[in-house]
Amino acid sequence: MNYFSSDFKLGILGGGQLGKMLLAETQKLDIQTLVLDPSNEAPSRFSCTLFQQGSLMDYDTVYEFGKKASLLTIEIENVNLDALDQLEKEGLPVFPSPKTLRLIQNKGTQKDFYVQHNIPTAPHQRFESLSHLKTSLDKNLLAFPFVWKCARFGYDGNGVKIVRTAADLSNLPEVECIAEEMVPFKNELAVIVVRNVSGEIKTYPVVEMEFHPEANQVEYVICPARISTEIAEKAQKVALQTAEAFQHVGLLAVEMFQTKDDAILVNEVAPRPHNSGHYSIEASYTSQFENHLRSILNLPLGNTDSKVAGIMVNLVGAEGFSGQVIYENIEKIMAIDGVTPHIYGKRETRPFRKMGHVTIVNQNMAEARQIAEEVKNTIRVIS
C-alpha cells in the first residue's frame, strides 16, 4: 500500500500531546491523518488533516470515525473496544488490537495476564469494589501496607494510593480495584519495545524514572538508566517477554521495578507512545513516535540506539495556579545548550497538570542531570 502523498488515511483515537507528537512524524512523511478527541481544545487539533470532536467511549462515534480511516491507532487506552472489535471484523487494521487493549485496560486483567504468562510482577489481589476489599481486611485475608489501584481509568498520579492504615481508605472511590503487595525497590525503570506487523522487534535502552514525592508523577526520565549492564539486560529481556506474550503491534512501554535484591518486576504497560520515551525525539536515532508509525504501517523499524545521553523533565502546572498558562523563564532555559522545550498546547494550567516537557541532551550524563535540575528550578508553569 502507498501511504505517502496518497489517499491513505491514518485514524488516531485521542488528540492529546502524544497524538500531537505522533502527528509531527506523519507530517514528515506526508500521511493524511484523522483525529477524534472529546475536547475542541485538544493539542492535536491543528496538526491533523481532519479533526473531529466526540467521545472516545461512545460506540457509534468511534465506529463511524473508524469507517473514514484506512488504519486505526490510539494515543490513549480508554476507548470503546466494542466499536474497535466491529471495525476489525469488517477488515479495518487496528493497532494495538482490541484484544490487547482489553487485557491492558483493566489493571486486574493485566496483572492476571502476567501471572498466567510467568512474567515477574508483584503479588496482587483483585476486588470488585472497595467494600469487598474492606471485607477482606476484616477477615485478615489482606494485610497493611499495600498499594491500592483502581482497575480502570487510572493514570499517572491518579487512581493509585499507598494504603498503610484503614484511615487511608476513607476517601477512595467505590470502584473495582486491586491491592498490590508493596515491593521494596531501588529503581523504577522502563523499556519501550517496538514490534511491527511482520514481527520485527526492537527495544530502546532502559530508562530510569525519578518521581515527585507528593504528586506520584515522574519528574525526570534518564536515559540510559544508571544501572549495571547485567540489570539492563535483565530488564530488556523481561520487556521482550512481555511484548511477545501480548503479540503486540506498535509501541509497548513496560514499566518495571528493580527490587532491593535486583529482581525485575513488571509494574504495568502502556500500548502506545509513552512519557518514558519522550527523550527519544532529541536523543535517539529514531524517536518512539516515528517507530510507532513504522511498526503499525509494517515498515522496517528504525535504530533505537541513543546518540547522546538524554534526560526529560516533565513540565507540570505549579501549585496554586489555575487558568491561562504562562511559561515563566522559558527564555532562560532556551539559552542553555542542549535544552529543547516541548509545549503541548493546553491553554489552561492547573496544579500538577502535564503541560509540556523539556529534553536535555549531553555527551556527559552527570552534566545532563545537573542541567535538568537547573531547568526544573528555573522554568515555572503558572497563570
Query: Is 258 domain-assigned?
Result: yes
Residue 266 counted as domain residue:
yes
Q: Which of 307, 325, 349 is the last residue of a domain?
A: 307
pLDDT tens-digit map of 322-331 = 999 999 999 9
pLDDT of 156 > 70? The answer is no
Please check if 180 is assigned to a binding site. Answer: yes
Q: Are residues 226 and 167 in the same domain?
A: no
pLDDT category, 157, cuts 50, 70, 90?
low
Do 95 and 296 contact (CB within 8 A), yes or no? yes
Q: How far is CA 199 from CA 96, 150, 238, 248, 261, in A?
A: 13, 33, 17, 9, 33
Q: Is 348 annotated as a binding residue?
A: no
The one-letter code for the residue type at 44 is S
In this model, does residue 155 exceed pLDDT 90? Answer: no
**CATH number, position 354:** 3.30.470.20
Residue 244 annotated as binding? no
What percent of the chain lies above the pLDDT cut of 70? Answer: 99
Same domain, 206 and 253: yes
Cis previous bond, 145, omega within 30: yes
Q: Which parts of 117-264 fold into alpha helices (H)?
A: 130-138, 229-246
Do residues 173 and 242 both lie within one domain?
Answer: no
In a shared domain, residues 68 and 84: yes
Within-domain flag for 364: yes
Domain boundary (307, 339, 355) is at 307
pLDDT at position 219, please?
85
Residue 122 banded pLDDT, cuts 50, 70, 90: very high
Classify residue 1: in a domain, yes or no: no
Are residues 301 and 189 part of one domain? yes
Count of Cβ atoms closer than 10 Å to residue 167 Cβ: 8
The answer to pTM > 0.85 is yes
Q: Note whether residue 251 is domain-resident.
A: yes
Instruction: Among 277, 307, 337, identify where a domain stops.
Output: 307
Cβ atoms of residues 128 and 109 within 8 Å: no
212: pLDDT confidence band, cut at 50, 70 and 90? confident
Q: What total of structural domains would you count in the chain?
A: 4
**Shared-domain flag, residues 22 and 35:** yes
Phi-psi region of 52 (alpha: psi -120 to 50; beta: other; left: phi over 0): beta
For residue 117, what pLDDT band results from cuts at 50, 70 and 90?
very high
Residue 66, domain CATH: 3.40.50.20
**Does 205 sit behind a cis peptide bond, omega within 30 degrees of 0 on the bond before it?**
no
Domain coverage including residue 190? 184-307
Domain membership flag for residue 361? yes
Whether 314 and 325 map to the same domain: the answer is: yes
Q: What is the rounded distance in angstroms from the CA atom of residue 206 to the CA atom of residue 223? A: 7
* Secondary structure E strands in 66-168: 71-74, 124-127, 146-150, 160-163
207, 142: one domain? no
Strand order in the sheet with 50-53: 50-53, 32-37, 9-13, 71-74
Split at pLDDT 50, 70, 90, the class of 216 is low
- Please classify residue 364 by burial: count the beta carbons closer than 10 Å to its beta carbon, then call 0-12 exposed, 13-18 middle and 19+ buried: exposed
Query: Is 107 known to sit in a ligand binding site?
Result: yes
Residue 183, annotated ligand binder? yes
Whether residue 273 has a cis bond before it, omega within 30° of 0: no
Residue 181 known to bind ligand: yes
| CB 131 within 8 Å of CB 148 | no
Q: Does residue 313 fall inside a structural domain?
A: yes
Helix, strand, coil percent content, the chain, rounded in steps of 5? 30, 30, 40
Whether residue 303 sits in one domain with residue 196: yes
The residue assigned the cell 498499594 is: 147
- Determine the average pLDDT of the residues in 309-331: 96
Same domain, 313 and 278: no
Together in a domain, 197 and 294:
yes
Whether 103 is covered by a domain: the verdict is: no
215, pLDDT greater than 70: no
Rounded distance between C-alpha atoms, residue 255 and residue 253, angstroms? 6
Residue 25 annotated as lining a ligand binding site: no
- How many DSSP H helices and E strands does the chain contain? 11, 21
Same domain, 247 and 301: yes
Q: Count Cα neighbours of 38 within 13 Å in the Cβ-side half-sphere.
A: 8
Name the amino acid, one letter, at 262. D
